[in-house]
Structure 1
Amino acid sequence: MSDLVDGIHLTFETNSMLATKIFQDTTHLYTLSTDKHGSTTSLLVAGTDTLIAKMERKELFPDTVAFPGSQLNNGKAKQVKKWLRPTLVAEGVRAYTIEMTPGNFFLLRHPQYRLALYTPDLQEIIAHWLVETKDSPLRLVIASDTEKAAFPQIIAAFVYEEQNMRVVEKHDIVAGRTPAFRVRVDYPFLGMLPHTGEVNLAALAGSRQGNAWQ
């Protein structure tokens, strides 16, 4: 069940953060693709070559992101850590700050939704992942009053961080450890979140795992 009952549901055709089509109802809105090296992920307007978001992972230099045609950095590439800025929102609880109209929004790992985007006052969720059953498609639910111009940033933020989380989970499984984001713990953080849930203990402790906290 989603907190955003009347929200816009963006459905990922496949449960992939590298290559998939994204639909609203039956309308194909966006295409997500990744180059053969796996380093550059692009978000395009469906049926066109119009690039609206580009994320580049680099070995020796900081990862970058660009939103061509937007006002953010005049559409030019900037370091991801200057776009998704690590922020401490409560003792031991980290988030990413994203600057959008009308203020700074916060992307947090969430015990129910895995990831959720909160309003500047941290009182309401405006976007979150949603998987209703194991056979249901992955959906990104966005509040209905969100400006469509913000969609590329929201989608890119969720895709980028979900990629990070899956890399950490894969490493944990290969190493025979309990996946980092599936540990049951008390979660006494802010009134709007459940008190128990599945969260990343390392993230709550402020630890860096893999590429999860840049």
Structure 2
Amino acid sequence: MESFLELELPPTSSKSRSYYFDRNSAINATLYCNGQPSYTIMTNKSGTRTDVCDIATQSVVATIKRREVFADTIKFPARNNGASVAINKWLRPITHSPYHAEPSILLVTDVGNFVWESDAAHRLALYAEEDHHVPVAFFSRNKQPQDAIVLVVKSSAEEMVEDVIVSFIILEQRLRMKEKRRQNGMMPPRHTFFTSCASGRPLLAPHCIPTHLRVI
């Protein structure tokens, strides 16, 4: 079987960019765009911390923390003086909306508000807050490698691509954990919201790997 790097990925159109995950995991993967590695997602063994790194700048652009007692948090080091905020203030459940079906999740960004939905057309799709017709980003499946994740981001959402990628991996992992609970017929421990992937960790430049994740 061909490896991911041996596959010829289709080019990205000028109207959208496709981010190909190199494995079927939302918490440990390398994302490729136009055949080049763009981002890495790394989660520690305990599943309590996930870091998203921009390979071009060799910097961590977002850190997700899963906590047992207090609210889970998200931190963008380049924003808000690097302060962490509760995820439920950044990704807010929608209870009433004339535009979007329930359940939906409101994504609050610097360029406006958007809504993530899961429907018959898309497993996950992101829409402008007052538009339910054309998504600005959506989840699709690539035929090779088997079950690889492909996140399509329209040009209109490129200026907030980090918000899109980070919110997507949070919600996709939630869906996977929900599906796992259904399959097992039981409720898993709370910490399994972010679980380590058995397929291993993606490669990352050593100086880009957060200190607490480095193997010495």
The TM-score with structure 2 as length reference comes to 0.72
Give CA deviations for 1:65-107 in whole Å, capped at 9, x if unaligned.
011113xx33311000000011132597121111224421111
- Aligned twin of 2:120: 111
More helix by share: 2
- Aligned twin of 2:36: 27
Distance of 1:47 and 1:158 partners within structure 2: 21
Q: Is the 8 A contact 1:106 1:122 kept in 2?
A: no
Q: Is the 8 A contact 1:127 1:143 kept in 2?
A: yes
Q: 2:136 aligns with which of 123, 126, 134?
A: 126
- Aligned twin of 1:56: 65
The verdict on how the C-alpha distance between 1:118 and 1:47 changes in structure 2, with shifts beyond 3 A counting, is closer
Q: Note the residue ranges of structure 2 that are not aligned, 5 or more in a row.
A: 1-12, 187-191, 194-216
- The runs of 4+ residues in structure 1 deviating greater than 6 Å are none
- Aligned twin of 1:12: 21
- Aligned twin of 1:139: 150
Give CA deviations for 1:10-68 in whole Å, capped at 9, x if unaligned.
11011111211001021111110001111111100116651101111111110000111
> What is the number of equivalent residue pairs in this alignment?
172
- Aligned twin of 2:185: 175
Q: Is the 8 A contact 1:104 1:120 kept in 2?
A: yes
Q: 1:162 aligns with which of 150, 154, 172?
A: 172
Q: Is the 8 A contact 1:10 1:24 kept in 2?
A: yes
Q: Note the residue ranges of structure 1 that are not aligned, 5 or more in a row.
A: 177-209
Matched, 1:40 2:40: no
Q: Using CA pairs under 8 Å that are at least 6 residues apart, name the structure with larger relative contact order, 1 or 2.
A: 2
Indicate the RMSD between aligned Cα atoms, in angstroms.
2.5
More strand by share: 1
Distance of 1:5 and 1:129 partners within structure 2: 18
Q: Is the 8 A contact 2:32 2:38 kept in 1?
A: yes
Distance of 2:135 and 2:63 partners within structure 1: 25
Aligned-residue identity in percent = 27
Distance of 1:24 and 1:47 partners within structure 2: 12
